Amino acid sequence: MEIPLTPLDFARRARRLYSAREAVVDGARRFTYAAFLDRCDRWSAALQAMGVRKGDRVAYIAPNTHAHLEGYYAVPQIGAVLVPINYRLTSDDFEYILNHCGATVLCAHADHLDAIDGIRSRLPGLRAFVALEGARAGWIDYEAALAAEGPDYAPVPIEEGDLLTINYTSGTTARPKGVMITHRNAYLNVMGVLAHHPLSPADRYLWTLPMFHANGWTFTWINTARGMAHVCLRQVEPRAIFRLIKDERITMFCAAPTVLIGVANAPDAVTADAPRGVRLFTAGAPPAAATIELVERKLGWELTHVYGATETSPFIAFCEPLPEHRALPPQACAVIKARQGVELVSSGALHVVTADGAEVPRDGLTLGEIVVRGNAVMKGYYNDPEATAAAIRDGWFHTGDAAVLHADGYLEIRDRFKDVIISGGENISSVEIEGCLLRHPAVLEVAVVGMPHERWGESPHAFVVLREGVSATEDELKQYVRETLAHFKTPQWVSFVDQLPKTATGKVQKFVLRGGRQAIVRQ
């Protein structure tokens, strides 16, 4: 008998096997798996009492809290579709997404009630407004509604092709698009991670990654599948991260490279007694080898680079460590770990192809686009058939990432195609220049973009954040690149800035840099 593949089955198993184990820590609140899943059932019953039916969309605007996590079980187990929204967006963005997805219920954290109250009149489809914390007039009190219900919600048949979530892209250059993820998509992503990365009920996971970001890279369900503890972190700050790693005996977390830079460069007084042996995933942007080396050398942590996109559930590649890698010097090993790796056993086929569809040779030089097909690929963009057709062509999802293949089959991204700098007819990888500059002892962060040049068409422009108390000159950094890379890759300009513009998930907004709307440049 076939049973639909759904991450909800991990909750069933956890209830049977891990009921007495600690499931969720959120500040002073602690729940066992029995209590956590009972709360999920009660919220399912409460949603049904509000009229939520199969296929309805229930939206969340919240940081990493226990109530937000409960939505990843309570909403889909009654056949509804979860819509986790980036809480750092503007009110106009909230309005667009809530109306576009047709949400009937909105669950919001106290920090965002004012923003929603300001646009209520423009949200005609919403029938219920739920305050996860900080309830006020006009809002349903989450805890009160949950306590008023029993755990006996009405079961709803779930098919693996049903929508589980709609995850909206960042919308940096256009309106956000709603990525439709099915129960099957998420289930197989979880299984792929567990096939490549050992986890057990002894592990404890710190929520440094936003849950709204591609469903927390499906760790919303991975942790439950292995009976691990979810330790919530509402605001990412290095001191809080190190405190929780120590106090809560954290063994695993995920973070974008920009978060890793902040963690690895925290003051020695903060990192001095940090437990060693912590494992972490990084993704969201290609991490520099220098950052990987610093994390592993300074902190004694084990970093794994993964790769994917919201549209691919999200993982399609895993930089799988091989026995021979362990014999390499730290710097050489970090260079390999900076690659995106090989396809997961569960995600489907991953190729790097030229414009005519031919796979690139494994020479580490020939540039092509990463395309993927299989179980990882989304069902499509919600209510946007044109964008779906543009992204999925002949059965392959086109990522827009420019990459090479090495002789061992390991994939390495060189850039987003839109970020490749074409100077005097030569292709220049902004990622390569960034990786070089990050090895300079004065550089904390850097982003490189192409800017118009009268002679070469465009040339690299490096925006650099220096380490506190350290100085460097434009000529010094140019010379550093010139001594390491081919001369034509040397930045034409170097600007020193206080910070880089980033999305809520830590990606640098290069379109802001190119558009000249960057924060004040240091003179």
Domain 236-368+399-416 has CATH 3.40.50.12780: yes
Residue 82's nearest CA partner among 142, 151, 8, 135 is: 8
Higher pLDDT among residues 519 and 248, named by residue: 248
Q: Are 109 and 62 in contact (CB under 8 A)?
A: yes
CA distance 375 to 310: 13
CATH superfamily of 420-514: ANL, C-terminal domain (3.30.300.30)
CATH superfamily of 35-182: ANL, N-terminal domain (3.40.50.12780)
Instruction: Tell me, yes or no, if the two domains 35-182 and 236-368+399-416 fold the same way.
Output: yes
- Per the prediction, the chain carries an average pLDDT of 93
Query: 332-374, pLDDT tens digit by residue?
Result: 899 999 999 999 999 999 999 999 999 999 999 999 999 999 9
Instruction: Look up residue 38 and give its two tokens.
Output: 């009972």
Residue 210: exposure state from Cβ atoms within 10 A (0-12, 13-18, ≥19): buried
Largest CA distance in the chain: 72
φ/ψ of 357, rounded to 5, equals 90, 0
Residue 364: exposure state from Cβ atoms within 10 A (0-12, 13-18, ≥19): middle
Query: 166-224, pLDDT tens digit by residue?
Result: 999 975 557 899 999 999 999 999 999 999 999 999 999 999 999 999 999 999 999 99
Q: Are 131 and 140 in contact (CB under 8 A)?
A: yes
φ/ψ of 290, rounded to 5, equals -65, -40
Measured between alpha carbons, how far is residue 23 from residues 87, 186, 193 in Å?
A: 24, 20, 20
Query: 267-313, pLDDT tens digit by residue?
Result: 888 888 899 999 999 998 888 888 899 899 999 999 999 999 999 99
Share of the chain above pLDDT 90, in %: 79
- Chain-centre distance of CA 345, in angstroms? 20
pLDDT score of 197: 96
CA distance 218 to 230: 12
pLDDT exceeds 80 at position 522: no
CA distance 56 to 77: 12
pLDDT score of 173: 56
Which residue in this structure is represented by tokens 């090993």?
Answer: 333
pLDDT score of 504: 67
Q: What is the residue extent of each domain of the chain?
A: 35-182, 236-368+399-416, 420-514
Residue 38's nearest CA partner among 64, 82, 83, 77 is: 77
pLDDT exceeds 80 at position 519: no
Check whether the bond before 460 is cis (ω within 30° of 0).
Answer: no
Half-sphere exposure of 211 (CA within 13 A, CB side): 31
Mean pLDDT to the nearest integer, 71-79: 98
Q: Are 462 and 477 in contact (CB under 8 A)?
A: yes
pLDDT exceeds 90 at position 78: yes
Which residue in this structure is represented by tokens 């490549």?
Answer: 196
Mean pLDDT to the nearest integer, 13-18: 98
pLDDT exceeds 60 at position 518: no
pTM for the structure as a whole: 0.90
Q: How many residues does the chain have?
A: 523
Share of the chain above pLDDT 70, in %: 97
Mean pLDDT to the nearest integer, 239-249: 96
Mean pLDDT to the nearest integer, 447-453: 91
The residues, any chain, with a CB within 8 Å of residue 152's CB and separated by 6 or more, are 41, 45
How is residue 78 annotated by DSSP?
G
Is the CA virtual torsion 239, 241, 245, 247 positive or negative? Answer: positive
Higher pLDDT among residues 216 and 418, named by residue: 216
